[in-house]
Structure 1
């Protein structure tokens, strides 16, 4: 009987994190299996910053739009435009974008496996044996690997089975409808709606994707109807009659897990590790970076035989972006609590310092350290709004 081959790494989940990890490892000559279920598309606005395009060599043809302005709409209907001077936000269709990432991983040497992951066991030699099911087959299949990268989403089964604390994360639940772009639609502007009726603790959005648009909403309140919210948003924005291409919903984690590895042979990446930015809900860049760092950690572990290398994925990520996640978490806690604060938050977006620093930080994925007086001015403006010393 011929024994199954042992892969260096099995990557569970073929979204941006998993596909990036598989691509990076395969390019280094590691044998990689990329396990992904068929037909899964995450509800996502599809925004990617220029730094992602540069760091991960994303071709221009995948960009469905280049957003050069964001319109922030307050609970009272006040619209504040935030132009992006000297830059843009790229918009991708996750259906096309994710498949391109998986195909790139395969072109680099990763073996694509279609199936639903079930569990991990270990043989006498300690090699991981992954059980997964292929649609239409009565019995599960197995796949052997020295290491496992769990990139199987917010409700990661790999994480819940293997990493302590992975089952205790909090979520925002997101739902969107992809609709046809009307003739009068603005292809270069996204809209973000801060109104409690559309989301009591997050926001609703309209993001352009060329011929289509993502119309969605998110909330951590399980009793809040996201479908009703999106229907109302479409009604008030004149999109009720536009054709609906598809509907998608999923939980989105907004806080990195305290631990990403099991200290042995598993490390998490992407939504499975909780790396979606609070306040904004942005996740594609952080997922792909997390996948790259997980690949680095796995490669170091295979090279040295030291499982402690797996912990470096989280350490490196938090060193680079932990402060940003902390600040965005505070912003969400203070400004999204009620419509009065949301009104003040949108009003602050009129400020040129806020606009400039926001877009510079977003496009480059780092805090803007120069011009300290701009930060001081924003701090005192924040304080005035919180203490009701300034009117919205």
Structure 2
């Protein structure tokens, strides 16, 4: 069978792209490696739930508070006003998205991408079928590469696809303990401590009956498992049963180009669209899948390969400024424990708390309070310059 679009990668980005295209009446294949679960805190904002029609049944927890913990152990609790952050378990959430795409007309394939071949008959995706072990060759007009941070599609087809900077994320899914003075099933803990991560952060994210505990780092010398063990001990979770362990690269910089000018466009982690500073990826992956599908639709309708550029253009038009601000925050505050201490101190500020979570929930910078922005800018400079103490009394 010949496809209009062959999607490589069945995570949130690929599944979203396939679903959108199938709903539009296109012939779509979705190739996924069965059994892989990406390490992920699992947080999704209200905008994602609304934009992508996520049912309540997929939410395993409703987070009402975020706790920021500094290197000295000082904690700042930030209430999530007028809403909540939903939590999903990627093992079930990703399968829900793939299944929904299939119910809307996508053909699901299970196997491993090998290469793209072109001849007089057109473009073909060569892949290995998991059940038989045999190579398959599928004809298609376009390919969407949504196969993760070390995307083989990107490496082979798009300039710069082999040079995406990333952090390595590792987490352990554990059985959640009963609520106690250290663990709250309605609270996410974010740990800014060089002993856990020298350049990023650690996390404790409740998932209802289970919990994700992990960290990320760009430092190859860091021992991720030892750091996570230390984090579990620090959080009173060392005795909880470990259900599974997962690790993977997480990109932190959108690629300058997402298409090959011919028949391939990238989406999600393959295009580098994970938010700096926060490491948030699910929402941006699904947006990446949607804009890739939009670009594919445009290219199929017009016959112009240049329309594939629409994917990056649409994404960056809405999210470029947010990514730039978050990158600046990461560069400014994650470089040392002194800076991390100052960052947590800054989080005490009510304006910082409100604007941060309004931006997170709605996925855009809040412009309704210009005075608050000015105040935050001044306080930020005072903290970075060391003119105010990082320790609050």
TM-score (norm 2): 0.98
> Matched residues in 1 for 2:229 and 2:369: separation?
43
Q: Which runs of 5+ in 1 are unaligned?
A: none
Whether 1:149 and 2:144 are equivalent positions in the alignment is yes
The answer on 1:110 being equivalent to 2:106 is: yes
1:365 is matched with which residue? Answer: 363
Equivalent residue, structure 2, for 1:18: 14
SS of the equivalent of 2:5 reads strand
Residue 73 of structure 1: aligned partner:
69
Partner of 1:355: 353
| Structure-1 residue corresponding to 2:60 | 64
Match of 1:140 in 2: 135
Q: Which residue of 2 aligns with 1:51?
A: 47
Give secondary structure in 1 for the equivalent of 2:306: helix
The answer for the alignment partner of 2:258 in structure 1 is 260
Structure 2 residue 48 is the aligned partner of structure 1 residue 39? no
What displacement does 1:134 show?
A: 2.0
Query: Distance in 2 between the 1:11 and 1:344 partners?
Result: 44
Instruction: Give the root-mean-square deviation of aligned CA atoms.
Output: 0.8
Aligned to 1:123: 119
Equivalent position of 2:190 in the other structure: 192
User: Would you say 1:324 and 2:322 are equivalent positions?
Assistant: yes
Deviation, structure 1 residue 144: 1.1
> Deviations along 1:331-364, whole A, 9 cap, x unmatched?
0001000000000000110100000000000000
SS at match of 2:138: strand
Q: CA deviation at 1:123?
A: 2.2
C-alpha distance in structure 2 between counterparts of 1:302 and 1:134, whole Å: 27
- When normalised by structure 1's length, the TM-score is 0.98
Structure 2: which 5+ runs fail to align?
A: none
Q: Work out the CA distance in 2 between the residues paired with 1:38 and 1:275.
A: 23
Shift of 1:187: 1.4
Instruction: Note the alpha carbon deviations across 1:131-172, whole angstroms, 9 max, x for none.
Output: 111236453111111000000000000010000111111011
> How far does residue 14 in structure 1 lie from its aligned partner after superposition?
0.3
Q: Shift in Å at residue 6 of structure 1?
A: 1.0
Report Cα offsets for 1:217-241 as digits up to 9, x if no partner. Answer: 0000011011111000011111111
Q: Secondary structure at the match of 2:248?
A: strand
Q: What corresponds to 1:229 in structure 2? A: 227
Counterpart residue number, 1:87: 83
Identify the residue that residue 342 of structure 1 maps to in structure 2. Answer: 340
1:37-57 CA-to-partner distances (Å, cap 9, x unmatched) read 010110000000000000000
Candidates 149, 156, 161, aligned match of 1:161: 156
Match of residue 377, structure 2, among 366, 376, 379: 379
Rounded to whole Å, the distance in 2 between the matches of 1:224 and 1:174 is 11
Aligned residues between the structures: 387
Q: Deviations over 1:49-83 (max 9, x none)?
A: 00000000000010001101001000000000000
1:218 counterpart = 2:216: yes
- Structure 1 runs of 4+ with >6 Å offset: none
Q: Deviations over 1:300-357 (max 9, x none)?
A: 1001100111001001100100011011001000100000000000011010000000
Rounded Cα–Cα distance in structure 2 between residues aligned with 1:257 and 1:45: 23
CA deviation after TM superposition for structure 1 residue 204, in Å? 0.2
Which residue in 2 is equivalent to 1:248?
A: 246
SS of the residue corresponding to residue 115 of structure 1 reads strand
In the TM superposition, residue 106 of structure 1 has moved relative to its aligned partner by: 0.2
How big is the shift at 1:87? 1.3
